Amino acid sequence: MEWFEYMIFIVVFIFLLWLFIGLQIAMMIVTPHPKSIDETMLEETERDPSMIPYLNNHLTNEYHIKSKFNYPIHIYEMIENKNSKRFVVVSHGYTYSHHGTIKYAKMMIKLGYNVILYDQRFHGDSGGKNTTLGYYEQHDLNMVISHTFQKFGKDLFLGTYGESMGSATCLLEQANDDRVKFVISDAGFKDLKVLVKSQIKAKKLPPWLFYGIVNVFVWLISRSNLSKVSPINAIKDSSIPILFVHGKLDDYIPYQHTVDMYDAYQGKKMLFLAENQSFHTRSYYYNQEEYFSILKEFNDEYLEN
């Protein structure tokens, strides 16, 4: 083999390796392995044995609606007071299911809200071929909200509550939906591009070299754009009350993401940074009194008028 043939071989090999790594990262992002309903039920039972019985005792209805993209969205209603017009729709996190949001439903029901849980696309009992971490999920949430208004009345006082990916879903959706009167964001990321670059860096790879090709493959697989999933941009023109929550020990999405969103937001806002064993989406479990206290303060200050 001549030297130039050897060089061509090396260049082609490096190029193909670059493509392969980019494809693998893209597939990890949009086609992960979500936990099954049984797995999330078991995890929640291990964390707090009261959660699944609470859901079973308060679940009043469950059914599917069809998304605008023609897959089913599974909905779980927890209607405590049929005469109440106060509703909250809760969105769960990445690779999980509605079971992860029972803890939030429990607190909101205590504050007098009726609660709508659902499984996001590609998760739980909902359909969809992939996840897009908010890009398409915001439209599914909009459909759930529209269905809630159609079913329970046009005069609802309705907000949204999201955890991790669910936070992004809620913050993106509210930017184009004036029916949403408040948002509660727990363990959210401020910008998916920033988060993905940090994850690429954590794999000991240079983000400047791989982010672009990862985004290309994400587009080819899911027709979504990582760079368009930016909650911090979605709230720049908003004014509704937002409660920002994050655990200081979060080892997946650093709590600085939430601090940056809180600092940038110009509307009515509150911030709660949990301390005790507050790993990713775990702020509630070991900080229950503090969490509910700030949630009640947020409700009393901004949502009771």
Question: C-alpha distances in angstroms, 219 versus 18, 173, 215?
Answer: 17, 20, 6
> What pLDDT score does 281 carry?
95
Mean pLDDT in runs of 10 for the chain (305 residues)? 76 94 97 97 96 98 97 97 94 98 98 98 98 98 98 97 98 98 98 97 96 98 97 97 98 97 98 96 96 98 87
Do 144 and 15 fall into the same domain?
no
> What pLDDT score does 238 carry?
97
User: How many C-beta neighbours within 10 Å does residue 3 have?
Assistant: 7
Polymer length of the chain: 305
Do 235 and 261 fall into the same domain?
yes
Do 270 and 177 fall into the same domain?
yes
> What pLDDT score does 8 carry?
85
Do 23 and 145 fall into the same domain?
no
> What pLDDT score does 1 carry?
58
Do 12 and 110 fall into the same domain?
no
Do 97 and 199 fall into the same domain?
no
Look at the chain and report how many structural domains it folds into: 2
Do 241 and 114 fall into the same domain?
yes
Last residue of a domain, one of 227, 243, 278: 227
User: How many C-beta neighbours within 10 Å does residue 150 have?
Assistant: 10
User: How many C-beta neighbours within 10 Å does residue 269 have?
Assistant: 18
Do 117 and 214 fall into the same domain?
no
Q: Can you tell me the distance from the alpha carbon of 162 to that of 82, in angstroms, rounded to the nearest whole number?
A: 24
Last residue of a domain, one of 203, 227, 251: 227
Residues paired with 184 in a beta bridge: 161, 243
> What pLDDT score does 2 carry?
72
Q: In what order do the strands lie in the sheet with 72-78?
A: 61-66, 72-78, 114-118, 86-91, 157-163, 180-186, 242-247, 269-274
Q: Can you tell me the distance from the alpha carbon of 13 to that of 219, in angstroms, rounded to the nearest whole number?
A: 24
Do 152 and 250 fall into the same domain?
yes
Residues 6+ apart with CB under 8 A from 158: 86, 87, 88, 89, 145, 148, 149, 179, 180, 181
Q: What is the widest separation between alpha-carbon atoms in the chain?
A: 82
Last residue of a domain, one of 167, 201, 227: 227
Do 88 and 185 fall into the same domain?
yes
Question: Which range of residues forms the domain containing residue 212?
Answer: 1-30+192-227
> What pLDDT score does 81 carry?
87
Q: Can you tell me the distance from the alpha carbon of 172 to that of 179, in angstroms, rounded to the nearest whole number?
A: 14
Question: C-alpha distances in angstroms, 110 versus 25, 106, 107, 113, 292?
Answer: 41, 6, 5, 7, 10
Do 138 and 281 fall into the same domain?
yes
Question: C-alpha distances in angstroms, 167 versus 11, 52, 54, 137, 273?
Answer: 42, 22, 23, 11, 15
Of the candidates 85, 73, 93, the one whose C-alpha atom is nearest the C-alpha of residue 143 is: 73
Q: What is the CATH number of the domain that holds 139?
A: 3.40.50.1820
Do 279 and 153 fall into the same domain?
yes
